[in-house]
Amino acid sequence: MRNLKAEVVRNAAKLRGWDVILKELCPEIDDRAFQKPGRHTKCPVHGVAGRGGDGFKFFRKDFQDSGGGMCNTCGTFPDGFKMLMWLKGYGFADAVAEVGAFLGIHSTADENQQAKVNRANEKALEARRKEIADKEAASNLYHSKRLNELWKASLPLTHPDAEPARLYLASRKILCWDRVGVDKVVRYHPSLASYNEDGEFEGDFPGMVAKVTKAGKPITLHRYFLTPKGEKAPVQSPKKMCMYPTDRLVTGGGIFIGSWDEVVVDVCEGLETAWAIETGTNFAVRVHPLVNATLLEGFEPGPSTKLVRIWIDKDRSGRGEEAGLNLKKRLWEMGIQAQLLTPSLPLLEGEKSVDWNDVLLKLGRMGFPQARRAA
């Protein structure tokens, strides 16, 4: 039966558990994602086996009840139906029917019987929700304390001990790490513990930590793992966002150095990309890094903003351009002008992506729009 009542099937799925349902219906999802919701694994759509950490995860907070998750490249899927629509190419009615069939709901009679079962188990569901809420509160307290401890142990990039960070930035030809306001947002940490996607300890490394905020309120820290010589640390993922309390929403957030509510705002994905653009334009612009394509796509301008310039990455997957185009379209619909700026380098065979830091490294300031106009 194709036209099942979505709410009946949704409540039945909560009783059974979306973890059980999606594990059966979506064998393409890495089993480790089910073992620990919130753990990043390879994306079932675009991920490559063996690389790991491609950005897919289930929601840590309520996966069993919602079935939701996200991929840093592909986007956010708030519930199990949306997850199936993305993975299988289903329409909404087909996704509901697929879950219904798995749960034994094939007819109107099955549907009516399941509605009775749902009502009879409301108290059990409420008890489970309370148990989840209690665990969530304890987890939030732990993550909040850990974030505060990490930040308190950090040092300004100008500190003598922060040489590994300065060496790394120098290797990227970045010159604006000491400008006013940086020390309040991006700092050096002498010892960051790194764990891979399987939870295995990879070692302690020096690195940088950057505050991710939304409308001035802190959300989490983004970490950049380095070696004492200023190279990327030999870990599975040299850049990782810390876990954060579930009552904080990262969508709309970014690494904002200075005011984000200006008439003209420049945004991009990564921190190095932002600082490369600032260096490459001879500090004519201030660029706000939004961490990744998904957060770039969800950028929320301030009330004063009239124009947003979007400095996109050129990815083999096309995700950087897609995120930029989606943001541009949404901004125009809001009455805010938007402009896309694409790296002036070709994406060569074997390269995963090209960003504006690559432009700075290979072309210098002549690879940037303002430099060409001045010339």
Cα distance between residue 132 and residue 134, in whole Å: 5
List the domain boundaries for the chain: 6-120, 154-248, 251-375
Provide the token pair at 358.
Answer: 């690559």
Bridge partner residues of 57 (DSSP): 70
Read off the pLDDT of residues 173-186 as tens digits, 9 standing for 90 and up: 999 999 999 999 99
Mean pLDDT value across residues 144-150: 96
Name the strand (E) or helix (H) holding 223: strand 217-225
150-159, 241-250, 345-354: range with highest mean pLDDT: 150-159
Mean pLDDT estimate for the chain: 90
Residue whose entry in the numeric block shows the structure tokens 């802190």: 218
| Per-residue pLDDT, 316 | 86
Q: Identify the CA nearest to 313 among candidates 331, 295, 336.
A: 295
| Per-residue pLDDT, 45 | 86
Read off the pLDDT of residues 54-94 as tens digits, 9 standing for 90 and up: 678 898 878 888 999 988 778 889 999 999 999 999 999 99
Q: Tell me if residue 186 falls in helix, strand or coil.
A: strand
| Per-residue pLDDT, 372 | 44
| Per-residue pLDDT, 374 | 42
- CA Rg, the chain, in Å? 23
Provide the token pair at 213.
Answer: 């905020």
| Per-residue pLDDT, 254 | 96
Read off the pLDDT of residues 21-33 as tens digits, 9 standing for 90 and up: 999 999 999 988 8
* Contact of 225 with 239, CB cutoff 8 Å: yes
Confidence check: pLDDT of 52 > 70: no
| Per-residue pLDDT, 84 | 95
| Per-residue pLDDT, 54 | 60
Where helices occur in 153-238 by DSSP H, the ranges are 163-171
Which range has the worst mean pLDDT, 50-64, 121-135, 240-254?
50-64
| Per-residue pLDDT, 2 | 66
* Contact of 271 with 241, CB cutoff 8 Å: no
| Alpha-carbon distance values, 212 to 52, 74, 197, 288, 292 (Å) | 24, 21, 21, 11, 12
* DSSP tag of 371: H
Cα distance between residue 17 and residue 54, in whole Å: 25
Mean pLDDT value across residues 329-347: 95
Report helix angle 92-102 to 18-25, nearest 10.
Answer: 100
| Per-residue pLDDT, 102 | 94
Confidence check: pLDDT of 285 > 60: yes
| Per-residue pLDDT, 356 | 96
Read off the pLDDT of residues 298-322 as tens digits, 9 standing for 90 and up: 999 999 999 999 999 998 888 889 9
Mean pLDDT value across residues 7-20: 92
**Cβ contacts of residue 133 below 8 Å, gap of 6+?**
none
Q: Tell me if residue 54 falls in helix, strand or coil.
A: coil
Q: Is CATH 1.20.1440 correct for 251-375? A: no
80-84, 109-113, 138-142: range with highest mean pLDDT: 80-84
* Contact of 117 with 12, CB cutoff 8 Å: yes
**Banded pLDDT at 50 (limits 50, 70, 90):** very low
